[in-house]
Structure 1
């Protein structure tokens, strides 16, 4: 949500990323899973009850002592997230928070012995919320970029804050999608010159669109008419209604929309992914103990296989990493 040249990976995806369009086939195979996968799964395959916005801490917590004492005492990690970015994080038909990130948080809670409590916010305010200590971490398909690490505005390149640290846990690129059967000749980003494009505000898709529009102008082509929205669902609604020619978001989000919107009849992905980059869990600078505990928990669920099961469940195994990294974005 891959704020910086990224809700794209956004994102929210949110700047630069190589291509993995072949991953769409995996999403198609997992289509029925994408439509029904909500909540925590027990070993027997039944859906286990889950409190709204939080993940259940397991009885055994081998990494609990790595957390800061204040968080151990509270028993909760407050997670800032834009919960409108399916399949990464979203509300199911019953209003429960579900998706890739909540499932990963549930798995990490078993390692750390605390709940991950998801709190909804618009994507472009999550880092500000970290600075204000409204959240302990931000987990929201946020692309790890140097600008975000250093607190630099991706467009003006001016310092706007002290930045954040990231624990990288997934890799994704940015995709362009159009109404099904109406691509209007759009195959690459350069084909967007003179077209109307919808994006989520503050994402990598947004940054890429602004950079591409500048190229269009310099090449004496029509600029891209960029329409930005608070969340990706609003952007999709505008495209669906015919108010734009194309949309752009992180590949997992675009693929999910293609699979589910209108029963798979609303949208299609055009061209290949670009700007592959890591999603990162953001932690405020100076909170090294929490950052390192999150990394240890992510590494543990990668090692024990829970990570793979979750990515397989949501049809996004192509974005898997073999270990968590700190500040691996560029």
Structure 2
């Protein structure tokens, strides 16, 4: 083979290699564009399916989870069904909000009086547990002593509920108002508005003593009343109404008198976490606007407590 033919072959190989390199480069370029387009499409779809995701703090958005402290023994607001699943008004609302925010709300069980402590220690991102929004809780003040007990919290208010009295069915003992409780024994859940009202009433009763027995959860209080260990119980109206409807097939309890102290339920958030607070408010407003909120409230038969918009720190 001559030197010339060698050069020609080499040149041919060079041209083929160059064409191949260009083809590969083009292919990589197209693939790169495809990936970028795919990424953009994916991000667009994510934004479309969770329109409020970008309002969350980045840390929460990246985690994909909001940790919820809750006393999961307060039917119908939050409780365990027969299969052990957490259900109720709050879990349903949280699921609907999660779709707006692109995250999952994970409920963790705790006693009611420990929820704000857990929030302050960052064990939870929020507390959502039929918690009444009050100025004392906003300011971190003990409602009984008036002393500062910790950092206050902000609330995103989403429902309104009063407090009810209920007795064993057919054994009302003439109880219609809180003033009728003097000389009686009442069961309540610890650290609730019901306990606060009972303590205030006990002071008014003076020597005609009102005895108060407080429990870690409302189910324990109901059990005590059902067994004849007390004269009357007190819970938030939705809870009392649900107990009257379901306990013993509706044969155990009856509500007496009217609701008192109507006030908002709020989702508690650390005061330093305003971005999360505002994202939750936006999500609640979104499900109110799109009708999901009304469907959930109607499902649990608590239409009377529905609100038209979420508010921040509306409690007094």
Match of 1:142 among 111, 131, 141: 131
1:161 corresponds to 2:147: no
| Structure 2 counterparts to residues 115-126 of structure 1, below 5 A | 115-126=104-115
CA 1:58–1:261 in structure 2 vs 1: closer, same or farther (change >3 Å)?
Answer: farther
1:58–1:110 contact (8 Å) kept in structure 2: no
Match of 1:302 among 284, 288, 293: 288
Matched residue, 2:245: 259
Q: Distance in 1 between matches of 2:62 and 2:209?
A: 53
Matched residue, 1:21: none
1:177 corresponds to 2:166: yes
TM-score w.r.t. length of structure 1: 0.81
Give secondary structure in 1 for the equivalent of 2:49. coil
| Structure 2 counterparts to residues 91-240 of structure 1, below 5 A | 91-217=80-206, 220=207, 222-240=208-226
Give secondary structure in 1 for the equivalent of 2:165. strand
Q: Distance in 2 between matches of 1:59 and 1:139?
A: 27
2:184–2:231 contact (8 Å) kept in structure 1: yes
User: How far is 1:80 from its partner?
Assistant: 0.2
Work out which of the two has the higher radius of gyration on C-alpha atoms and give 1 or 2. Answer: 2
Q: Distance in 1 between matches of 2:166 and 2:122?
A: 36
User: How far is 1:185 from its partner?
Assistant: 1.2
Matched residue, 1:61: 50
Q: Distance in 1 between matches of 2:238 and 2:209?
A: 27
2:141–2:152 contact (8 Å) kept in structure 1: yes
Q: Distance in 2 between matches of 1:195 and 1:59?
A: 57
Q: Distance in 2 between matches of 1:132 and 1:195?
A: 39
Q: Distance in 1 between matches of 2:248 and 2:131?
A: 27
Across the aligned residues of Structure 1 and Structure 2, the Cα RMSD in angstroms comes to 1.1
Which structure: greater helix fraction?
A: 2
User: How far is 1:162 from its partner?
Assistant: 1.3
Q: Distance in 2 between matches of 1:61 and 1:207?
A: 40
1:282 corresponds to 2:271: no
User: How far is 1:223 from its partner?
Assistant: 1.9
1:58–1:111 contact (8 Å) kept in structure 2: no
Gaps of 5+ in 2: 1-45
Give secondary structure in 2 for the equivalent of 1:309. helix
Gaps of 5+ in 1: 1-56
1:197–1:246 contact (8 Å) kept in structure 2: yes
Q: Distance in 2 between matches of 1:72 and 1:106?
A: 16
> Which of structures 1 and 2 has the larger relative contact order (alpha carbons within 8 angstroms, sep 6+)?
1
1:59–1:113 contact (8 Å) kept in structure 2: no
Aligned length: 271
